[in-house]
A = this chain, B = another copy of it.
Amino acid sequence: MADELPSMSLKAIGTVRSEIKQAVMLDSGEIISEIVIDSSLTEALDGLEGFSHIIVLYWMHRLASDEIPLKIHPRGRHEVPLRGLFATRTPNRPNRIGKATVRLLQRQGNILRVKGLDALDGSPVLDIKPYIPGYDSADDAEVPQWITKR
């Protein structure tokens, strides 16, 4: 089946400017970053100001290793049993697309100022979407205990 699955190519639409310079397990909730969108796409941001939150898809471009283990200890916590990589948010995945929901503080031309983005400085940005409560959220979501115990 593997051979039947298609490939596709992406082109970044912008870049993250952040004080996060390396992958550390920090709480990014308060961090303020800038997303600089290619100036040819500035007009495509019009109307985004009406949303308090946006979804950022970005490329997790810096990785410690080229290997992609199918199972890992989530967040490097060895007391948690091995989990499949798709049950975790590890950046080390077949397609290294990161997804963050962040507060949009300001849009100025082609620059978005956001709060809570955990992308590293220099991360290529793939897409920006408006965050729509109800569509993007699930009120009754449940997670396993190892997620909540930190």
Contacts and interface: CB of A to CB of B under 8 A. Distances in A.
Contacts of A1: 38-39
Interface residues of A, number: 69
Copy number in this complex? Answer: 2
Interface in A62-92: 70-71, 82-89
Contact of A97 (B94, B126, B142): B126
Given A94-B41, A136-B101, A87 B142 contact: no
Nearest to A122: B6
Contacts of A47: 83-84, 87-88, 144
A8 B9 contact: yes
B86 A128 contact: yes
B129 A89 contact: yes
Nearest to A130: B87
